[in-house]
Amino acid sequence: MSTILSLNNISKRYGIVQALDGVSFDIPSGSVYGILGPNGSGKTTMLGIVTDVLKADAGSFTLMGQTPSAAQRRKIGTLLETPNFYHYLSAYKNLQIVANIKQTSEQDIPRVLELAGLTARQHSAFKTYSLGMKQRLAIAAAMLGDPEVLILDEPANGLDPVGIAEVRNLIRQLAQSGKTIIMASHLLDEVEKVCTHVAILRKGKLLGSGPVNAVLSRDNFIEIGGPDNQALSQLIKQHPAFVQVLPAQDGILQVTFRETIDPASLNSWCAQQGVWLNHLQMSRKSLETAFLELTNN
Amino acid sequence: MMQIIKIEWLKVKNYRSFWVFIGLGLLAMLAPNFVIHDIFVKNIPKEAQQLLGQSMYDFPLVWQTIASVNSYTSGIFSLLVITLVCNEFNYKTHRQNVIDGWERRDFVLSKLFWVVALALLAFLTSLIAVFIFGGVYGKAPFSMEGSRFLFYYLLQVLVSLSMALLTGMLVKRTGLAIILFLGYIMFIEQILVSIVKRFFGNVGGLFPLQAGDELLPFPIVEKLVKFSGPYDSVVYLTALIVYIALFIWLVFQRMLRTDL
């Protein structure tokens, strides 16, 4: 699998703020790569450096295995921060400018406008658009020329729930067609549903990068409940594979084991100890929990 | 470069302010000449005309007259350059252009195109004005003598437009950039020129716009007071070229090295 983007020791400082501190990682071709991190963690700064609107203080990067240049950027569809368009021009005319800069055919404009649901308003001036429509136009601009690589910085910004679902579906479809998508987001739900890989940033430092499950370890746990949860809590600690027990909502216990536990055997083990379970469910730690654990440490 | 020009055309062709600026700029180059022609040529008593000698709008003096008058009014094009540059910063489209696949250099070239295009437009309009006033209203036969003044004028417009380009790139906000630019051309430079001339002598005439003014004295005033500079024209011409090169170099330095 070839590498689309390779960052090597990138650092960037704004006055006293170290926005990025020696960040290195590779983005493989065909992956949906989530760049995660709290606000101000350096996500947009990193993407700004990759798109040449910001200059790194140190370090280097390659795009598609080559020294970065405008020619490579023309092959990447990018939505960075806010949608930036000429306010006095219509959506169509703005996309004409983008198509000409990308040196791609203007004939693709109707397709991307349709994709973004803006066909009916394509001749209205950008300044008359709502926030959601502006974001849709930015997504349309990124899709222009059907690029193999997309950089999307908070793509769901300003969209209503329907719009968010549409963008998520669009990203899924694009990923299925083999495109590489680099997506910065703080909406973990969004990332959990579409990303294959993640890089986690906190205060400019890279906490980890790679396949989602390798970076954010999300051990399976089992939710159990019985007539007397206090007694059950004492009992479960005696299980040979027991690691920890935490109280969950509604008096349910959340139990983590050293190894994968078969629910049937656990049920049987409890029954043998004289406790009959009335709740038993396999669960997985949410990405949000795993992310918070990682970024708070 | 043709691709860049096409993109710039797409940006302005439906931009109403652009056309208002162009219209006003052209009007500001032609209208004052009609007014001055009316006052100093058409309605002037015959005795006064004899005292002044040849009419200002007769060849070859018409070259100098038009160049001198227009050097005061072509600032409108500089305001247009500031507006076009600052629009990009206001809309953050300077970033988007680079993100979408322009080199930063292409962005600078796209604005340099306007500097050159507007300077040529001002030059050609002035040239047409020379033919109209000298040919239609003038009484003397056509002569190329004095046509150098129109080239001095072209250089002065280039200085003014490249200074506007630099101001826009540094200040980024339209209103503030226009106020600073107007302040500079209307009185700040005049104050600096006076101070430097008083304390350091003729070198004060080498400020960017003053150097052009020294080359373009108004024909009649020139006869009444010593107006043109004490240095040889080559010195002022060199100064103008150095300023154009310096301003453009600073613009490149700014745009190629800093965060957008």
For residue B222, the model assigns a pLDDT of 59
> Same structural domain for residues A122 and A226?
no
The Cβ of residue A227 has, within 10 Å, a number of other Cβ atoms equal to 10
For residue B251, the model assigns a pLDDT of 95
Q: Pick B257's closest partner by Cβ from A55, A85, A86.
A: A55
Range of the domain at A149: 3-215
Closest CA to B157 of B126, B186, B132: B126
Picking from A161, A186, A215, the residue at the C-terminal end of a domain is A215
Distance from CA of B182 to the nearest CA of A (A): 26
For residue B106, the model assigns a pLDDT of 95
Picking from A162, A182, A215, the residue at the C-terminal end of a domain is A215
Cβ contact, residue pair B101, A103, below 8 Å: yes
User: Does position B228 have pLDDT exceeding 60, yes or no?
Assistant: no
Q: Are A241 and A258 in contact (CB under 8 A)?
A: yes
User: Does position B245 have pLDDT exceeding 90, yes or no?
Assistant: yes
> Same structural domain for residues A110 and A234?
no
Q: Which helix (H) or strand (E) holds B7?
A: helix B2-12
Cβ contact, residue pair B96, A69, below 8 Å: no
Best mutation target among B96, B102, B254 (most A Cβ atoms within 10 Å) is B96
Q: Which residue of B has its CA nearest to A96?
A: B10
Cβ contact, residue pair A87, B91, below 8 Å: yes
A214 pLDDT band (50/70/90 cuts)?
confident
For residue A150, the model assigns a pLDDT of 93
* pLDDT tens-digit readout, A2-35: 889 999 999 999 989 999 998 998 999 989 999 9
> Same structural domain for residues A172 and A207?
yes
User: Does position B85 have pLDDT exceeding 90, yes or no?
Assistant: yes
* pLDDT tens-digit readout, A123-172: 999 999 988 889 889 989 999 999 989 999 988 887 888 888 888 888 88
Higher pLDDT, A16 or A192: A16
> Same structural domain for residues A254 and A124?
no
Please state, for a pLDDT cut of 70, what percent of chain A lies above it: 94
> Same structural domain for residues A163 and A292?
no
> Same structural domain for residues A114 and A96?
yes
Q: What is the DSSP letter of B193?
A: H
Q: What is the ipTM of this complex?
A: 0.87
Q: Where are the domains of chain B?
A: 2-257
For residue A1, the model assigns a pLDDT of 57
Picking from A185, A215, A245, the residue at the C-terminal end of a domain is A215
CATH number at residue A94: 3.40.50.300
CATH number at residue A241: 3.30.70.100
Q: In the numeric block, which tokens belong to residue B92? A: 């953050």
Q: In the numeric block, which tokens belong to residue A67? A: 């020294």
> Same structural domain for residues A228 and A112?
no
Average pLDDT over residues B187-201: 87
* pLDDT tens-digit readout, B122-159: 999 999 988 888 888 777 777 778 888 999 999 999 99
Query: Domains in chain A: how many in total?
Result: 2
Q: In the numeric block, which tokens belong to residue A188? A: 């973990």
Handedness of CA A50, A52, A54, A60 (dihedral sign): positive
Cβ contact, residue pair A53, B95, below 8 Å: yes
Q: Pick A86's closest partner by Cβ from B93, B98, B104.
A: B93
* pLDDT tens-digit readout, A37-69: 888 888 899 999 999 999 999 999 999 888 999
Cβ contact, residue pair A52, B104, below 8 Å: yes
For residue A253, the model assigns a pLDDT of 86
**Which residues from A are below 8 Å from B106, CB to CB?**
70
Q: Are B177 and B168 in contact (CB under 8 A)?
A: yes
Please state, for a pLDDT cut of 70, what percent of chain B lies above it: 92
Average pLDDT over residues B198-204: 83
Q: Which residues pair with A242 in a beta bridge?
A: A257
For residue B223, the model assigns a pLDDT of 58
Q: What's the length of chain A?
A: 297
Query: How far apart are alpha carbons A131 and A156 in whole angstroms?
Result: 11
